Structure 1
Amino acid sequence: MPLPALNRTVTTTVGIATAALLGGIAIGGAGAVSASPPAEPKVQNSFDSLGADVRAAELSSGRTAHYTDSGPADGTPVLYIGGTGTSARAVHMTDFMRTTRENLGLRMITVERNGFGDTDYDAKLGKADYAKDALEVLDKLGVKKFKVIAISGGGPYAAEIAAKAPERISALHLGAALPPYGEKPAFCALTDDQLAAAVKDEIKDPRKWWAFPDDSPVKSIPGFADTAYEEGARTYNQRGQQADPAPQVHEQRLYCDRPGPDLSKLKAPVFLYHGDKDTTVPASTLKAWRDNLPDTAPVKTRTYADTGHDVQYRHWDQILVDLAGRSDRTVVCHDKRTRALPAGEADALVSKKRATLGSCAWNG
């Protein structure tokens, strides 16, 4: 009787080996072998965005304005005014917080300035012309009331818009924004030729124009540097102008105009954001803004010890929450989770070093 037992052992062993070799192959009742088909690949139904399209609008002046419009059509309209030497796509540099922007329902609109990007250069145009053009673009988009966020050299243009259409602005946000008030910048003492010589090498190489200090928090944003370089290349070369310094010199000369526009009719709240390490737009500019804002426009100032002239990017998360009308909340990272907590609660956690300001993304 030992032989049958041996046969059973051999059969079982062979069966196991065969199953291992066949892997996922199934054997049918008639002995036929068939393979299970792999799962169907998942392919998306719609395109992912590569950033806002630059659109053209014919103006009543006969000029063509170039602009971008991103976000929900029924969202909160925000006019984004980039810093000096930026194109209509400069808002794309804030897309590292695009999800938050979309969650808050913000609609970002930019209008390009004289001589940059797609927009032709006209030496006769000034800041008031930009304000008129921007308002006309907003009219074409059906936007009546809107908020403004101005970055760095966008500050003087924001002031022009606030003076020209104060009743249309529901909030004015100024991130490291140069004021057209107070002491003139040092470069105002230079001639146009000296200004051109000072900027020509930098605008030819966007890596120099958009260089941030080695300790800048923007260094931790994936792809930020390359996006900035692409923005610089677009600003100064889009129309084949080959980094002509004339538009840049013209804009910097406009920054020297004093006094700035009268803001006495503005009633919207104003938010000032400043980095204590900022030497480009120093702390004294905060007073220049406050001194020229009326009592009817309540001012909230947010200053940060951890930033310089990059505060608008490092604390863009807070700016977005403020733009959404939730300035009563402070963005913090607490227990490895990003929260927008009531300001008092957030301040207490930060003071006890149980939380840090801004998204947890900044902590790596």
Structure 2
Amino acid sequence: MATEGNVLLADGRVMTFAEFGAPEGHPVLYFHGTPSSRLEPLLIGDAEFSRLGLRIIAPDRPGMGRSSFQRHRSFSDWPIDVAALADALGIGKFSVLGNSGGGIYAVACAARIPERLHSVAIVSGAWRMDDPRTLAAMPFVNRLTWTLARRAPLLLSLWLRSVGTGVNGDLSQLKRHLPPADYEAFESPGRYEAFGYALRESLRQGTKGPAWDMRMYVHPLGIRLQDIQMSLHVFHGAKDVNVPIALIREALTSLPTALLTVYPRDAHLSTLCNHFDAIARTLVEG
């Protein structure tokens, strides 16, 4: 079972986080997808983190879960909050793991606070999501989502409300919409339910925070990629339809320190679930 806590930040905001795994293990700050929340590590489970000797600390991003909303924030603001959380927990150096939409947040930390980082892992990481070629490679629902994020924020909020209730249904209804590897990953006992918990928790305060988060992926990222000198370990599934592998290959041309591992049979969710042992080794070994 996760334990939870809160940190009061310098500007008066509250950041809520959940901890999983071994309390004395290797510290890893886990950055969830979008929309999601601090509960996302339940996809892997407390026992697995403990077995691998990891202390997973997963904060809610601003306006999601229980963390306070932050006006006008950008990706480059996140490392300030991350450093404050680590300081509050008495952690000097730590690793970061960005899953899905959390990937850019891990990149931002590599750019702005590399002295605090032991290692960086990006799993199924989203990037700039409004390139026409990227959209053309996605299923209709994904294309619609990012188009709304770019052009119709009010409609995006309505869409997010519907998503929050949509994961309550029978998993079998999603079979024709998911890549086989992702569907199989969801069939693991409790995983689909954990996904639903994390998603619904992201909407606890409404859609304002998640909608702002999603809109950040369709505007300039505001990260000085040229500042990154440490290794970035990138794990991605070739069958990922949420973030097509072609997008990742192109994005990484601007990141010469990135080391890409591609899993030919895996997709968006299954990469995290099926290869967490390899991801954990990278986090610990650096």
TM-score normalized with structure 2 length: 0.82
SS in 1 for 2:218: coil
Q: Report the equivalent of 2:282.
A: 322
DSSP-derived class of the 1:196 partner? helix
1:248 is paired with a residue whose SS is helix
Q: Distance in 2 between matches of 1:167 and 1:285?
A: 29
SS in 2 for 1:60: coil
* Compared CA separation, residues 56 and 150, structure 1 to 2 (3 A): same
* CA shift in 2, pair 1:132/1:181, >3 Å: farther
Q: If each structure's helix is expressed as a fraction of its own residues, which one has the higher value?
A: 2
| Separation in 2, partners of 1:182, 1:172 | 25
Cα deviation, residue 120, structure 1:
2.9
Residues 166 and 265 in structure 1, CA contact (< 8 A), matched pair in contact too: no
Give 1:73 deviation, angstroms: 4.1
Give the Cα–Cα distance (whole angstroms) in 1 for the partners of residues 17 and 208 of structure 2.
Answer: 22
Q: Which has the larger radius of gyration?
A: 1
SS in 2 for 1:170: strand
- Let me know the Cα RMSD of the aligned residues: 2.5
- Structure 1 residue aligned with 2:162: 201
Q: Higher mean Cα deviation, 120-129 or 315-324?
A: 120-129
**Residue of structure 1 aligned with 2:196, choices 222, 229, 236:** 229
Report the counterpart of residue 264 of structure 2 in structure 1: 305
Structure 1 residue 169 displacement after superposition: 1.8
Superposed, 1:54-93 pairs within 5 Å as: 54-93=4-43
| Cα deviation, residue 104, structure 1 | 2.9
Distance 2:235 2:161 in 1: 30
In the alignment, the residues of structure 2 paired with residue 308 and residue 271 of structure 1 have an alpha-carbon distance, to the nearest angstrom, of 17
Q: Which residue of 2 aligns with 1:168?
A: 116
| 8 A Cα contact 2:31 2:98, kept in partner | yes
CA positional deviation for 1:313? 1.7
**Among the aligned pairs, what percent are the same residue?**
23
Gaps of 5+ in 1: 1-50, 327-364
Q: Taking CA–CA contacts closer than 8 Å with sequence separation of 6 or more, which of the two structures ends up with the larger relative contact order?
A: 2
Q: Which amino acid in structure 2 is aligned with residue 219 of structure 1?
A: F
Deviations 1:183-205 (A, max 9, x none): 37652542212322333311233
Q: State which of 80, 85, 94 in structure 2 corresponds to 1:132.
A: 80
Secondary structure of the residue that 1:255 maps to in structure 2?
helix
Alignment of 1:1-364 (within 5 A): 51-95=1-45, 98-180=46-128, 183=131, 186-187=146-147, 188-207=149-168, 213=178, 215=180, 216-237=183-204, 241=205, 244-294=206-256, 297=257, 299-310=258-269, 311-325=271-285
Q: Which residue identity lines up with residue 238 of structure 2 in the other structure?
A: D
Give, as a single letter, the amino acid of the residue that structure 1 aligns with 2:90.
Answer: G
Shift of residue 214, structure 1, vs aligned partner:
7.2
8 Å CA contact 2:78–2:105 kept in 1: the answer is yes
Alignment partner, residue 140 of structure 2 = none
Asked if 1 retains the 8 angstrom alpha-carbon contact of 2:21 and 2:48, the reply is no
Q: Distance in 2 between matches of 1:129 and 1:90?
A: 22
Residue 178 (structure 1) shift: 0.9
**Retained in 2: the 8 A contact 1:175–1:274?**
yes
* 1:182 Cα offset (Å): 8.9
| Alignment TM-score, normalising by the size of structure 1 | 0.66
Distance of 2:26 and 2:6 partners within structure 1: 22
Alignment-mate amino acid for residue 245 of structure 1: T
- 2:29, 2:95 within 8 Å by CA — same for their partners in 1? yes
Q: Aligned equivalents of 1:131 and 1:159: distance in 2?
A: 10
1:68 and 1:148 map into 2 onto residues whose CA distance is: 15
